[in-house]
Structure 1
Amino acid sequence: MTEVDAIVIGAGMSGMYQLHLLRQLGLGVQVIEAGSEVGGTWYWNRYPGCRFDSESYSYCFSFDEEMLQEWDWSEHFAPQPETFAYLRRVADKLDLRRDIRFDTRVASAHWQEREGHWLVRCEDGYEARARYLVTAVGILSIPVIPNFPGRDSFAGPSFHTSDWPRGGIELAGKRVAVVGTGATGVQVIQEMAKVAGHLTVIQKEPNWCKPLCNAPIAPEEMADIKARYAEIFRSCRESDAGFVHNWDPRTTFEVGDEEREAFYERKYGERGFAFWLSNFSDLAVDEKAARLASDFLARKIRSRVNDPETAEKLIPKDHLFGTRRVPMETRYYEVFNQPNVDLIDVNADPLVEITPDGMRFGSGFVPLDAIIYATGFDAVRGAFDKIDIVGKGGLTLREKWDDGPVTFLGLQSHGFPNFFMIVGPHSGATFCNVPRCAEQNVEFVAELIGHMEGRGLARCEASAAAEDDWTTQVLDQADQLLAGRTNSWFTGINHNIEGRGRRKMLLYTLGQQYFLQTCREIVAQDYRGFDMAPQRPAA
């Protein structure tokens, strides 16, 4: 049995930073990580085409000026191998691995009321206990593959994109299927189209995609970025979602048709999420505004895809632009002009079964050598549901969240003392450039624990009233947004999960500035909303 002051689950960016800050408080910390290295998302996802869609220099850690100055990004949107190397370098520099137990998956975490600590048990039999438990499990870390008829009968290689073979796989000249056209699917499809002998793209729900507009970063440009890091991070803090992009103050209908079209065209050609997050300020709330932006993108798709029937299949009909996560692409639509690529819309041509040597659809049989599932994740709460988390009185987190997550600031849930969530449901770091906003989550938790340590307080638990108020605010705000009324993983929907109907909004959508101001006020009011107490005497 390992006994420490704090246990952190997950060694991605959030878990790494949390370990660093808790160490600075003088606490003994044990990080438990299912993978064999640090990196989280950037450890697990190694599929071809995997890369940032946040600007590289806005995604990195901001707390160490020396690290900022010594690391050079090669592209505005770095590929996975570079990001993974960066995070390993951070782990080396801060000597993090000595407090991380790798290749260990947490099975349960139970609050021991009498002792006032958390007992964590792992699938390999390892046990640890600590006063504080922090989850840094990520919002997209539990992959989902639908139970297609005959799925397990396929004789060739088949895998989820987050489980890409670690030693690589040779697919050149092969007959390959990619199932799914979300953000990950778009990235991997672009790369598979370059090497596959024949690529079959299997789509259920097309998405509104925007050009990434990536480019190399020349040495002189990297030097300029290093000189402007303080400005870049300040700009991210001042934006609604932690990006270098922020809303245009005008609304869609304040400008004429010609000026609006020119604005759309300019944003379409700018890097990253510019067309989404620096569009007109009413895009997220005005259906007519979102319709105009969607119509612009539909015209772009039709202009880039040669076959009109295929183009129409690639244009979403069930949601407007900006109401779901927007995939970034590089010549994605041009893939469908290639003679070695076919698109199958399962709404019109349903998948009947998977056989040992291919897939059978209503229209006929498609022979295959490999199947790649880009079918998404059990987002935001999936990793919490995988762990048997039990609080006071035997209450499980799954039971408490049966009708949707209930949290205070997305950081705690009543009934679970000393249990902190980084990028938890309804946290200010969910609908956000995650590293920018997650840093704030990590710092808030570290400062709160430091406050407890300094005052001799043993327990911290969100009050029922505080979490009810916070959850109500989050859900009420979501109802004002088009995204809150659209089925997506934002609202707990993944059609690849059997029996998963529409749930409540999982993300925080009130804007980063409101979240930061709320946190400042809570701290100034002696951590209002958090009930803290000294150790309860043993009976």
Structure 2
Amino acid sequence: MAALQTEVVQNRLNGHIQHQSSNDGLDFDAIVIGAGISGLYQLHRLRQLGMKVKVFEAGSDVGGTWYWNRYPGARFDSESYSYCYSFDKDLLDHWTWTEHFAGQPETLRYVQHVADRFDLRRDVQFHSKVTAAHYDNNARCWNVFLESEVSFSARFLVTAIGPLSTPTLPRYEGLSSFKGQSFHTARWPKDGPRSFEGKRVAVIGTGATGIQTIQEVAKTAQHLHVFQRRPNWSVPLHNRPITSDEMAQIKTTYPDIFEKCQNTFSCFLHTPDLRNTFDVSPEEREAFYEQRYASPGFGLWLGSFADTLKDEKANAEISRFVAKKIRQRVKDQTVAEKLIPKDHGFGTRRVPLETKYFEVYNQPNVELVDLQETPIVRITEKGIRTSEKELEFDLIIYATGFDAITGSFDRIDIRGQGGLQLKQHWSDGPQTFLGITVNHFPNMAMIVGPHVLLGNLPRSIEYGVGWITDLLRYMKEHELTKFAPTDDAVEEWTQYVIDIGKGTLSSKVDSWMTGVNSNVDGKQKRYIARYSGSAAAFRERCDKVTAGEYKELELL
């Protein structure tokens, strides 16, 4: 493959390949990788600039996260009407959500509707996995290579590959030896099981996807073994259908909804209480926690006291409350203790939301296996062998998470100036400018890359896409063909992200938000992988760059 790529690049330089574009010999003005929520919106905005754009998508349809994650129970943890696109009023008026927190099938239909409504599919090439992207400094373009060994060139490259799109499997021996069905939640087959009647099922992992899957599997499985690697804090989702009157009201208040998202810390419909934890009496504090626990969505996590995620004593207090709730909901107190995290406080990792998840362990057909006490030795032909015995299963579900944030970049051979590999450039942690551009990788922009706000993603996506679009508009108006951040700009922004992360409790724990993944070689060192400041401060810094006509970028 490498030899072929080198040959194709050289042929381009020699003029041996005929290109479709008539202006500069390139196939496209821009190539976008990924046809999820971010890739489709970027395509729409670049079309408005009059650019010739192609989107390459590995799957067979649009949807991104909502195309791949079709496991039972998959759904929003953000309110549906805050997660959707905000850029088109007619779209907002037309689409009707059926639940406050929509499930995967409905969300996928929504993204498909957007693609059809704006005729986006004609510029998307499906079944096209990008394996490499190499920058040609002489031609100031990117050569993008597909798994099919076909390549295309473009002036600009935009990655829309998502922070949670590269699934990881555990490192157990014998993964391929199991004779029954097995798959990762993020690669659930289109015709995969929806009912588990009469089946003996194993679910490995109790993170967000594991919790959602376990809730559904437990309803019908003959027997379910949950293999817990480490427990996670989780609180009720409180989902319910949206009535027609409610939806009509939502449609009239969309401007207010999106304005509120703009003004909250991480673009969710939840704001922290201005008081600190110990400003109120124990009785008031308990009543406040109860109210937030009973509210929908991230009310308890993002709507709690102002010092909850900064002060260890304050965090211990809310952790005590949630632990009490788990003990109340799980009858067997030995099991309850195993479900309560001891290695991190509430909210210091992203909090999964659930619907009667803890009650699942009261069912006679569900058994919890604590892998800290009873580790998995290997996967066998018939099932799973632990340190105690072999268990037989019909289906093994791996809810073992993702190689987050940088993992999707690592899977593509991205090379910038002088053949520098992005994976090598980020070997000690990502280095970016605004989480959008990378030094030594000209004309490449990232939507929701490292060092950006990972809150309510569509809100971050729309802003990021808008910033990239404004940059490319500026370049078009000034007849420029190359942009790249200076080393100083990258060093300053990266250090800024690191510095603001130091004050948070989340930076002190191992999670995908701090770059740690025991399933991936080289991902055991903790670093600051995301921007942890406010959305308003992030936008202010980015807007200042735009207003200053991109002085932090080298423009040619």
TM-score (norm 2): 0.94
After TM superposition, the structure 1 = structure 2 runs for residues 162-311 of structure 1, keeping only pairs within 5 Å, are 162-169=186-193, 170-311=195-336
- Specify the alignment match of 1:444 in structure 2: 467
CA distance, structure 2, for counterparts of residue 267 and residue 231 of structure 1: 22
Superposition deviation, residue 179 in structure 1: 0.3
CA distance, structure 2, for counterparts of residue 463 and residue 127 of structure 1: 29
Choose from 354, 363, 366 the match for 2:379: 354
After TM superposition, the structure 1 = structure 2 runs for residues 508-527 of structure 1, keeping only pairs within 5 Å, are 508-527=531-550
- Specify the alignment match of 1:536 in structure 2: none
SS of equivalent to 1:480: coil
CA distance, structure 1, for counterparts of residue 34 and residue 327 of structure 2: 43
Choose from 338, 349, 355 the match for 1:324: 349
Deviation readout 1:79-103 (Å, 9 max, x if unpaired): 0000000110000010000000101
CA distance, structure 1, for counterparts of residue 553 and residue 256 of structure 2: 33
Amino acid at match of 1:71: W
After TM superposition, the structure 1 = structure 2 runs for residues 101-180 of structure 1, keeping only pairs within 5 Å, are 101-169=125-193, 170-180=195-205
CA distance, structure 1, for counterparts of residue 283 and residue 477 of structure 2: 61
Amino acid at match of 1:243: F
CA distance, structure 2, for counterparts of residue 133 and residue 365 of structure 1: 49
- Specify the alignment match of 1:502 in structure 2: 525
Choose from 439, 451, 461 the match for 1:414: 439
Superposition deviation, residue 144 in structure 1: 0.3
- Specify the alignment match of 1:50 in structure 2: 74
Superposition deviation, residue 491 in structure 1: 0.6
For the pair 1:467 / 2:493, whether they are aligned, the reply is no
Superposition deviation, residue 457 in structure 1: 1.0
Ranges in structure 2 where 5+ consecutive residues have no aligned partner:
1-18, 21-26
SS of equivalent to 1:318: coil
**Percent of aligned pairs with the same residue?**
51
Choose from 386, 397, 401 the match for 1:372: 397
Runs of 4+ displaced beyond 4 Å: none
Superposition deviation, residue 503 in structure 1: 2.7
Amino acid at match of 2:543: R
CA distance, structure 1, for counterparts of residue 168 and residue 224 of structure 2: 22
Amino acid at match of 1:37: D
Amino acid at match of 1:204: R
Q: Is the 8 A contact 1:158 1:373 kept in 2?
A: yes
CA distance, structure 1, for counterparts of residue 477 and residue 114 of structure 2: 29
Q: Is the 8 A contact 1:403 1:503 kept in 2?
A: no
Ranges in structure 1 where 5+ consecutive residues have no aligned partner:
534-539
Superposition deviation, residue 456 in structure 1: 0.8
Choose from 426, 443, 468 the match for 1:401: 426
Deviation readout 1:429-476 (Å, 9 max, x if unpaired): x2x100011100000000110000001111110111111000001011
Amino acid at match of 1:473: Y
CA distance, structure 1, for counterparts of residue 349 and residue 424 of structure 2: 28
Q: Is the 8 A contact 1:407 1:471 kept in 2?
A: yes
Greater shift, 496-505 or 55-64, is seen at 496-505
CA distance, structure 1, for counterparts of residue 310 and residue 551 of structure 2: 31
- Specify the alignment match of 1:486 in structure 2: 509
SS of equivalent to 2:54: strand
Deviation readout 1:129-158 (Å, 9 max, x if unpaired): 110100000000000001212221111000
- Specify the alignment match of 2:47 in structure 1: 23
Deviation readout 1:52-106 (Å, 9 max, x if unpaired): 0000000000001001011100000000000000110000010000000101100
Q: Is the 8 A contact 1:146 1:498 kept in 2?
A: no
CA distance, structure 2, for counterparts of residue 232 and residue 8 of structure 1: 30
Superposition deviation, residue 499 in structure 1: 5.0
CA distance, structure 1, for counterparts of residue 77 and residue 92 of structure 2: 19
Superposition deviation, residue 522 in structure 1: 1.2
SS of equivalent to 2:368: strand
After TM superposition, the structure 1 = structure 2 runs for residues 14-93 of structure 1, keeping only pairs within 5 Å, are 14-93=38-117
Amino acid at match of 2:130: V
- Specify the alignment match of 1:537 in structure 2: none
CA distance, structure 1, for counterparts of residue 144 and residue 472 of structure 2: 19
Amino acid at match of 2:534: G
